[in-house]
Structure 1
Amino acid sequence: MIRRDILWKGIIEELAEDFLYFFFPGHIHLIDIGRGFEFLDKDLEKIMPEADTRQRHADKLFKAWLKDGQEQWFLVHVEVQGYPDGQFAYRMFQYYYRILDRYNKPVTAVAIYTDTRRAYHADTYRVDFFNTELTYRFQSFVLLDHTPQKLRSSNNPFGFALEVARRALDERKSDDDRLMVSKLDMLRHLLTRGLDKASIRRLYNFITYYTAFQNLENKLKFEDEVQKITKSRKPMGLEEAILQEVKEQGIEQGIERGIEQEKRLVVIRTYEKGLPLTDIAQIAELSVEQVEQIIQTYEAEK
């Protein structure tokens, strides 16, 4: 099962333009969308190397350009698990001052809360000591405060991704039958939006993997229903897409570097996508022990 933090990182990157339209409608006219975006995940790792990777949150840092030629950095933090964290607001402030100090780049930040723990849904960090006061306020979006219907009515692809996550809050205790109805409803709506194939594919994968069926038989039934609705061949899932991507890229470089290098590339790319070691081993046609050794070497070289 693909982890939700991996899904969030992927959908934010793939729908970055729609993300900006959704969260910054009053500023979108200032952004030079045509210049595209530069994603700064490596910079984020340098800024917060001590971040606890066991916690399920998704951080993205990316750069956009304003129409006047200036750079603007966007920090996106998605809380996936909703674990109690009384220091969350402080961590958001840490991101801000470290980016400002290291790169001299001001940042606009968004925290998306995908859980039900309202007590931890902060939007401000404040400290006051002996007549010295600091207030850091960032944009927060509490999924629980928005109905699926409201998110759908935004007519924004990223709003649709938020709808998928919002429905998951209601479906935590649902049975597979209700989940089936919900997923198929979202899929039918997705196909009426007139989106390009790439966006449909991304959002289909988000629908498919964000909330899993308890019974494997229902997962297969869902895929059959999708095939009937689309009246086409079975759509490629996220893991299959990853497999095709790494195989294609691995083969291209493998011609020059040899089969072993190709397999190493396959392992690294699938590892970065968050696949389990057993799946990586099967894809790369290696043992789990060999996969672990490649990953250990890769992490040491980073």
Structure 2
Amino acid sequence: MMNEYAIALRKKSDELLKGALEANFPDFLRFVYPDADQVVDFSKGIQFMDKELFAIIPNRERRRDGRRADLLAKLHLKNGTEKWVLLNVEIEGGNDVDFEKRVYEYNYRIRDKHKVSVATIAVFTGGKSQRKPRVYRDELLGTVLSFSYLTYHIFDHDQEALLKMNNPFALIALACQKSLLEGKIPEKQLGEERLIIAKALLSHNYDHDRITSFLIFIKNFIYINNEDINCKFDQLISELTGGEINMGILEIVRMQDRRDGRLEGKLEGKLEGQHEAALKIAAELKKEGLTVDFIAKTTKLSLEEIASL
């Protein structure tokens, strides 16, 4: 049986994946729907509706083996209508024999309660032999019910193809592939595999906030319990970015955000108006030996305030 520590790590990994999918949901839609920009009005934003999903399907995460990262999102189409997208993510190892029936039930319950059209997408993150159903079918005495939905499996594209794509979700899929190697290859080799994704990320012209949040996701999702390997990862990221990204500092800010109950997100500029939190972070950075100028730029505090700490 799996010990409590392993279960906690697995749960954390599932939460990280869900967070990455939510943060990159527009690009996920572009990945699975090549014409997404012609159909979806992304300028009106995307609203995630976890509360509605829990209300409609209250028992969906109570199964002992239920490792899922379901998302329900409301988006606007360019024809002026609102549509909902239900994303069902079957986490690694999942081989639910009733998966297609469950996906169908989710869809019709949402339709029945909210009277809206619902597009269902299933993402499978397990090994190549994972069961990947695409259709739910039921037939009785001449009555035929057939429900099909879009699916994507992380091994539908190999590493070479994913690295060539200019879409963040391709790197999420690749991170899922690499995470399956945990415990199967030496940690040093796993660290090298993790660096492949980080280098690919940095080769694209993504904005600074997206890069930093994605690097944190990669480092924590592909888990390596080796300080030397993690330090090497941090050092290489600093070198590749000309010192602009310091993973140690990012993680200090991230931990402070958690303590303060704030959402993880943009790491620059969001400390304005939160003077007390900024002082705490500045003190942490000062202990790490960072320059006063750098701390001032990161926390938006004055040089005098930092010098007095």
Say which SS state the counterpart of residue 72 (structure 1) adopts.
strand
Report the equivalent of 1:99.
Answer: 110
| Equivalent residue, structure 2, for 1:157 | 168
TM-score (norm 1): 0.77
SS at match of 1:174: coil
Q: How does 1:135-284 map to 2 (within 5 A)?
A: 135-170=146-181, 173-232=184-243, 234-235=246-247, 236-237=249-250, 240-241=253-254, 243-244=256-257, 247=260
Name the structure 2 match of 1:287.
Answer: none
> Is residue 8–residue 78 contact of structure 1 (8 Å, CA) maintained in 2?
no
Tell me what 2:17 maps to.
Answer: 8
Listed one character per residue, the Cα deviations across residues 164-205 of structure 1 (whole Å, up to 9, x for unaligned) are 212333555111121121222222221120110121022212
Structure 2 partner of 1:294: none
Measure the CA separation in 2 of the matches of 1:241 and 1:7.
13
Residues 21-52 of structure 1 show CA distances to partners (whole Å, capped at 9, x for unaligned) of 11111343011111011110110000100113
Q: Which amino acid aligns with 2:154?
A: L
Q: What is the aligned counterpart of 2:145 among 127, 134, 156?
A: 134
- Secondary structure of the residue aligned to 1:82 is coil
Q: State whether residues 30 and 66 of structure 1, in contact with CA within 8 Å, keep that contact through their aligned partners in structure 2.
A: yes
Instruction: Decide whether aligned partners of structure 1 residues 176 and 237 sit closer, same or farther in structure 2, where only a CA change above 3 A counts.
Output: farther
Q: Name the SS of the counterpart of 2:121 in structure 1.
A: strand
After TM superposition, give the deviation of residue 248 of structure 1 in Å.
Answer: 7.5
8 Å contact 1:60–1:76 — kept in the other structure? yes
Tell me the equivalent position of 1:32.
41
Q: Secondary structure at the match of 1:77?
A: strand
Output the CA distance in 1 between the equivalents of 2:36 and 2:192: 37
User: Partners in 2 of 1:237 and 1:79 — Cα distance?
Assistant: 30
Report the secondary structure of 1:206's partner residue.
Answer: helix
How far off its partner does 1:119 sit?
5.3
Deviation (angstroms), 1:219: 2.2
Distance 1:252 1:229 in 2: 29
State the structure with bigger RCO (CA 8 A, min sep 6), 1 or 2.
1
Give, in whole Å, the separation in 1 of the partners of 2:143 and 2:70.
Answer: 30
1:111: which partner in 2? 122
Shift of 1:90: 0.7
| Amino acid in structure 2 at the alignment position of 1:243 | Q
Q: Which residue of 2 aligns with 1:68?
A: 79
CA distance in 1, matches of 2:252, 2:86: 27
State the one-letter code of the partner of 1:49. P
Aligned equivalents of 2:128 and 2:198: distance in 1? 29
1:155–1:171 distance in 2 versus 1, CA, 3 Å: farther
Q: Are residues 191 and 208 of structure 1, via their aligned partners in 2, closer, same or farther at CA, if it must alter by over 3 Å?
A: same
| Distance 1:196-1:50 versus aligned 2 partners, 3 A rule | same
Q: TM-score, normalised to structure 2's length?
A: 0.75
For the residue of structure 2 that corresponds to 1:57, the secondary structure is coil
User: What SS is found at the alignment partner of 1:200?
Assistant: helix
* Partner SS state of residue 241, structure 1: helix
Change (3 A) 1:218 1:254: closer
The change in CA–CA distance for 1:219 and 1:203 in structure 2 (over 3 A counts) is same
Q: 1:23 to 1:242 in 2, by over 3 A?
A: farther
Q: Which ranges of structure 1 fall in alignment gaps of 5 or more residues?
A: 256-261, 263-302
- Structure 2 portions without partners, runs of 5+: 1-8, 264-270, 278-309
Q: Which stretch shows the higher mean deviation, 152-161 or 240-249?
A: 240-249
Greater fraction helix: 1
Q: 1:52 to 1:247 in 2, by over 3 A?
A: closer
How much does 1:160 deviate?
Answer: 1.6
Identify the residue that residue 30 of structure 2 maps to in structure 1: 21
Report the CA distance shift for 1:186/1:52 in structure 2 as closer, same or farther (over 3 A). Answer: closer
Once the two structures are TM-superposed, the CA of residue 8 in structure 1 deviates from its matched residue by 1.8
Separation of aligned partners in 1, 2:163 and 2:194: 14
